[in-house]
């Protein structure tokens, strides 16, 4: 019980509480506990946009006067945009959750390393890795909240335009850019967490 309170709860539960407090104070989407559902809604919206297309090849869609199509095929941009969106989220969750689970499961082994001077550095490395998982979990939740704050209104606006049969020629490229930027930010945040811990 004491190990659960001191180590397990701090590594796996405390980051959620901290990110919820910061997210609610900043009015970030998903900070009330519905992060997974809202991320799934954005993913569903990206699928709807892919099905609707940008209107580049749709002669019935109206094009705004200043609309310029980026030199990138819609299918390529939307495909890579969705892949980066889903891949970065699953990758970061997997890295933090699986990494944290493995480190917590190996706790008895590393606790034994604390008993000997020659192996004490392994214990402190393990402890730093757990700290990195905790800091990375906080950063991940906050980055995903910011990503939702940017992508939800953008996606709603683009889908509303496509429902009205107005071409959104730059939407696939914007999706790719947003997904790429937030994937870099997410893994950059994890790198910073590791850098701080070590």
pLDDT of 81 reads 94
pLDDT of 122 reads 93
pTM of the shown model: 0.84
26-65: pLDDT as tens digits: 778 877 778 888 999 999 999 999 888 887 766 667 777 6
Mean pLDDT of the chain: 87
pLDDT of 18 reads 83
Poorest-confidence range of 61-65, 132-136, 151-155, 191-195?
A: 61-65
Residue 151 has pLDDT above 90, yes or no: yes
Distance from C-alpha of 187 to C-alpha of 128, rounded to nearest angstrom: 18
160-176: pLDDT as tens digits: 998 888 888 888 999 99
């Amino acid at each position: 019980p004491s190990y659960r309170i001191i180590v397990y709860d701090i590594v796996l539960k405390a980051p959620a509480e901290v990110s919820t407090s910061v997210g609610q104070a900043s009015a970030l989407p998903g900070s009330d506990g519905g992060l997974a559902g809202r991320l799934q809604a954005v993913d569903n919206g990206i699928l709807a946009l892919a099905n609707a297309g940008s209107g580049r090849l749709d002669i019935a869609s109206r094009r705004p006067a200043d609309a310029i199509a980026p030199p990138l095929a819609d299918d390529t941009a939307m495909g890579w945009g969705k892949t980066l969106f889903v891949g970065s989220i699953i990758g970061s969750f997997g890295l933090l959750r699986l990494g944290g689970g493995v480190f917590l499961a190996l706790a008895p082994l590393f606790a034994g390393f604390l008993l000997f001077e020659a192996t004490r550095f392994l214990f402190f490395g393990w402890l730093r890795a757990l700290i990195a998982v905790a800091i990375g979990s906080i950063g991940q939740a906050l980055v995903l909240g910011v990503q939702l704050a940017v992508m939800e209104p953008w996606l709603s606006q683009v889908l509303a335009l496509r429902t009205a049969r107005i071409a959104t020629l730059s939407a696939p490229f914007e999706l790719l850019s947003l997904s790429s930027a937030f994937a870099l930010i997410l893994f950059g945040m994890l790198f910073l967490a590791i850098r701080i811990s070590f």
